[in-house]
Structure 1
Amino acid sequence: MNMTFRLPVALQRHENERFDIDAQDDETFADKQVEFIRALYGHALYLRTCGREAAVGDAFLAGIVNVLEALELNSPEEAQQCLTRLKQIMDAVFSRRPTDGMEVSEA
């Protein structure tokens, strides 16, 4: 039986990132595992070199995901209250940002 394991499309850059899986002994499995880890860390290194020096937005995204997961775990009423408050906070923060190169004036 020949099975194939492929990295997600976002991680595929070369054909050698595709790994065929056959019945394997422990030594062969360990070799394939090392090959997979090298490809994975190689891609991580590539992303690091292409990334921004201060990827604040990327770090902030993880925080937002955590907030959304916490909202999902709450009761529907609690989640709705939290979402309403989160929208108010976001509106307050983003209402002060410049639009089309023009500063938003406080009236």
Structure 2
Amino acid sequence: MTTSDPSKKAGFSKPPRTTAPPTTPEEFVAGGVSEEVQTFPWDGLNNKRAIPLFNLRLTEYKAARLKYASDNSEFSMHQIVADATERAVNEIIEKLLKE
């Protein structure tokens, strides 16, 4: 499914804020609680099973460096790229949440 709405693209908008569900009868009658709870698209997703996401395109130079690093260390090319991606995504999300 393709969308042209930029607010729907991952990483380009702040996560939505929702009202916390009421926990007491009084809160229910009052229409919920006033504190806001931040939710994220990855809340509740499996973090143990890897899924195919996209094909990675690298220049020959970068691919050779990645292969060299993998061949001469205990890390696979996939592990090197996955670890670097996770660090970069965490950094971007931290910056987004500070805005």
TM score, norm. by length of structure 2: 0.26
- Identify the structure with the greater helix proportion: 1
The structure having more radius of gyration, on CA atoms, is: 1
- Relative contact order higher in (CA < 8 Å, ≥ 6 apart): 2
TM score, norm. by length of structure 1: 0.24
